[in-house]
Amino acid sequence: RKGTKSFSVRDTALATRAMNLAWVRKDFVDMSGPEQRAYRLLSTIHEASADRFMSVRALFAQAGVPSDRERESSGCIGVEELLAALRRWRVEHRLDDGELQGFVDLLSPGHGPGGMKLLDLEKAVHLV
C-alpha cells in the first residue's frame, strides 16, 4: 500500500518537540505577550545580524557563544549564553531570565534545559 503511512510513538514525540513558528506570521496585535517579546528579540537579533553582514550562528560565534565545548558541538545555547551575546552586542533590554527562558522554550519546545539550537534560532530570525 503506497499511500499508507504509519507513525510510531517516536515520530509523534519528535513532532511534539518540533519548532512551530506559525505565531511569527500573526499580526503583532494578535500575538500574546510572550510572542510579542519573542518577536522583538528576534527582530533585535535580525538587526544585529544584518548590521554585521553575518549569519546568526556566526554572530553568536563572534560573541564567543557558546563557550562550553559540549554546547558548541551540539549547536545549542541557553539563557546564559543568550544574555552573554546581548551584552557583547551592547543591546539594552529589560528582559529577565524568566522571559528569556520563555523565548528559548517558545523556539525549541521539548529541548529542556539544554536550550535551543542556533539553527532553529536562525530559521526564526529569517521569518522576521
47 falls in which pLDDT band (50, 70, 90)? very high
Provide the β-strand partners of residue 117: 76
3-state SS assignment for residue 125:
helix
Which amino acid appears at position 41 of this protein?
A: L
What is the residue whose three cell numbers read 558548541?
72
- Residue-level pLDDT at 9: 47
- Residue-level pLDDT at 86: 92
Spans of all domains in the chain? 9-127
Residue pair 55/122 in contact (Cβ under 8 Å)? The answer is yes
Q: Does the pLDDT value for residue 2 go beyond 80?
A: no
Vertex 27 angle, CA 80 and 37, to 5°? 20
> What's the pTM value of the predicted model, to 2 decimals?
0.77
Q: Does the pLDDT value for residue 5 go beyond 60?
A: no
pLDDT, one tens digit per residue, over 11-23 is 544 444 556 788 8
- Residue-level pLDDT at 49: 93
Q: What is the mean pLDDT of residues 19-30?
A: 87
pLDDT, one tens digit per residue, over 97-109 is 888 998 888 888 7
pLDDT, one tens digit per residue, over 52-83 is 999 999 999 888 887 666 555 678 888 999 99
Residue pair 104/115 in contact (Cβ under 8 Å)? The answer is yes
